[in-house]
Amino acid sequence: MPAPSATPFTARFGLGLRKPHYGEAVAGAMPVDFLEVISENFMGVGGKPRAILHAARAHYPVALHGVSMSVGAADGLDADYLRTLRALVDEVEPLFVSDHLCWTRQGGWQSHDLLPLPYTAEALAVVCANVDRAQTALGRQMLIENPSSYVTFAASEMGEAEFLAEVVARTGCALLLDVNNIYVSAMNHGLDAQAYLATVPFAAVRQIHLAGHSEAEALLIDTHDRPVPPPVWALFAETMARAAADVHVMIERDDDIPPLAELLAELDMARTMTRDGLVARRAA
């Protein structure tokens, strides 16, 4: 790995493509380096959604971010899902294709929610087999994202970051690191976010998510419905002290979506912190 002092500032900054901002995206009027879309919203569909995706793609690189691949499913992957995603990949030629370290299907049931895995040797073998199959079916590397979680399993034999590092080592996949998810899970389970970061194989981290969360009775919930809060910014600064110079950073906002200017202000903050972090690394 090159010495930090020789690292140029090549990080890229983007936003999720959401309905309130379709107009700016199709006009090429969003001052961002890339856009991310939820893959399932555009898989196997024609009409206006497809037209909007194509118009946005004409102006920006687009990352496909999935929520239903279910790489942790003991049942394996859905062949129809993979075929439909591959068709979208071929059409969009995306910057990245990502999904979560979770499971969403079991015995014909679909949860449409990111359900947690026990971090066991058996689950590791299942995830790696599924990621291998997905990367073969898609003809490209995938990025796997760390999820937020609200329960843990006594059966777990390793931590989440260690598990992800093994998935990277065995499958050659890359990582999408969600800083808010690290924070939420650490708070919910009394874990050490710094220790988590110390275990992440940062050479494999291609993309970073920033988001806000809400507080329930005893837990933080990954709701993406408010600005990035100070503790997550602090963890982001620590993350960027380790991230590759060409990492892609974005703000995720899925609910109570504010005017574009507010999201761009958050993105500017991420940009400034990234530049400051790089300066600090060069000085060091």
Partner 1 sequence: MTLAALQADFRATVLGDDKHPGFAVYRGTYRAQLMACLTDTFPAVVAWLGDNAFHTEAARFIDAHPPSSWSLDHYPAGFADWLVGQNEAVAAELAAIEWALATSFVGPDEAVLTVADLAGVDWDNAQLAPSAACRILALSGNAAGIWAAIQLGETPPEPALEPQTVLIWRQQQQCQLRVVAPLEAAMLARGAFAFADLCTAAVAHHGEDEGIAVAGALLAQWAQDECMRRPD
Determine if 50 is a binding residue for partner 1 (CB under 8 A): yes
Q: Quick one: angle between helices 179-189 and 230-240, nearest 10?
A: 120
Where does this chain touch partner 1 (CB under 8 A) — which range of 11-19, 55-63, 87-95, 119-127? Answer: 119-127
- 131: CB partners within 8 A, 6+ apart: 71, 142, 144, 167, 171, 173
Query: Which residue in 32, 34, 24, 104 sits closest to 71, CA to CA?
Result: 104
- Residue holding tokens 């790995």? 1
Is 120 a residue that touches partner 1 (CB under 8 A)? yes
Of the candidates 12, 55, 78, 241, which one interacts with partner 1 according to CB under 8 A?
78
Asked if residues 149 and 163 have their Cβ atoms less than 8 Å apart, the reply is no
Phi and psi at 252, nearest 5°, equal -100, 125
Residue from 217, 230, 283, 284 binding partner 1 (CB under 8 A): 217
Q: Which range, of 57-65, 104-112, 199-207, 228-236, touches partner 1 by CB under 8 A?
A: 104-112
* Shortest CB 128 distance to partner 1, Å: 13
> Judged by CB under 8 A, does residue 181 bind partner 1?
no
Among 64, 115, 205, 208, binds partner 1 (CB under 8 A): 115
Helix (H, G, I), strand (E, B) or coil at 138: helix
Binding site for partner 1 (CB under 8 A): 40-41, 43-51, 68, 70, 73-75, 78, 80-81, 103-113, 115, 117-118, 120, 122-123, 126, 149-151, 153, 155, 188, 216-219, 221
